[in-house]
Chain A
Amino acid sequence: EAQVTQNPRYLITVTGKKLTVTCSQNMNHEYMSWYRQDPGLGLRQIYYSMNVEVTDKGDVPEGYKVSRKEKRNFPLILESPSPNQTSLYFCASSLHPTTSGNTDTQYFGPGTRLTVL
């Protein structure tokens, strides 16, 4: 089954304790992206990756890191989480623009609800 998976689905942690949220897709998509969703603010893009070893900042990259060492995985790293990073996080993937014409038809993972105390 074609899907985007995220782990963990729920996480409660404390300020300053490094954490990683994993994202994996089995559709051979080249484009992957991370979003956070907050009440009243909608979905905001954190980072995206056009291909292996190619990553770019989205709208709200501060406090986050990503890596893209292989096509299927795109982990989100919070080196020193803070309470303002409490949010619902979504990973998404789609085909490369030169293949499909655009990257926009993104398929979303189930979400990770993160609480930072």
Chain B
Amino acid sequence: EDKVVQSPLSLVVHEGDTVTLNCSYEVTNFRSLLWYKQEKKAPTFLFMLTSSGIEKKSGRLSSILDKKELFSILNITATQTGDSAIYLCAVGGRVYGGSQGNLIFGKGTKLSVKP
């Protein structure tokens, strides 16, 4: 069965700390891995990763994929209270009869950044 597992499920840090969020997956016919940030509304897109070892970076956030070990990490440096959110990892894989439309989400990591 295809699955995406995120860890930790929740994390509390103080402003200025650096955090690393983990996402491992077992998905048939892997296409890509995505990270989303969800505050009190809809998820918003952060990164899409398709190739191993290539770091994607946006400000204080960065992410990298390891397709051999089947995992990705999301790093946030110098955290701020505005980084408090649920971070979702999703993997696109071919699951149903050749159709490419399926996207499998992990349960998310809830990050709380204290002042």
Contacts and interface: CB of A to CB of B under 8 A. Distances in A.
Interface of A: 31, 33, 35, 40-45, 48-50, 56-59, 90, 97, 102-111
Contacts of B68: none
Nearest to B4: A42
A108 B101 contact: no
B100 interface: yes
B108 A104 contact: no
B43 A31 contact: no
Nearest to A6: B42
Given A45-B103, A107-B45, A111-B42, 5 more contacts: A42-B88, A43-B105, A50-B99, A104-B90, A111-B41
A42 B32 CA distance: 19
B96 A104 contact: no
Contacts, number: 68
B105 A44 contact: yes
B102 A42 contact: no
Interface residues of B, number: 24
Interface of B: 31-32, 34, 41-45, 48, 50, 88, 90, 92, 96, 99-108
Contact of A110 (B32, B42, B103, B106): B42
B106 A42 contact: yes
Nearest to B89: A42
Contact of B48 (A59, A97, A105, A109): A105
A105 B104 CA distance: 13
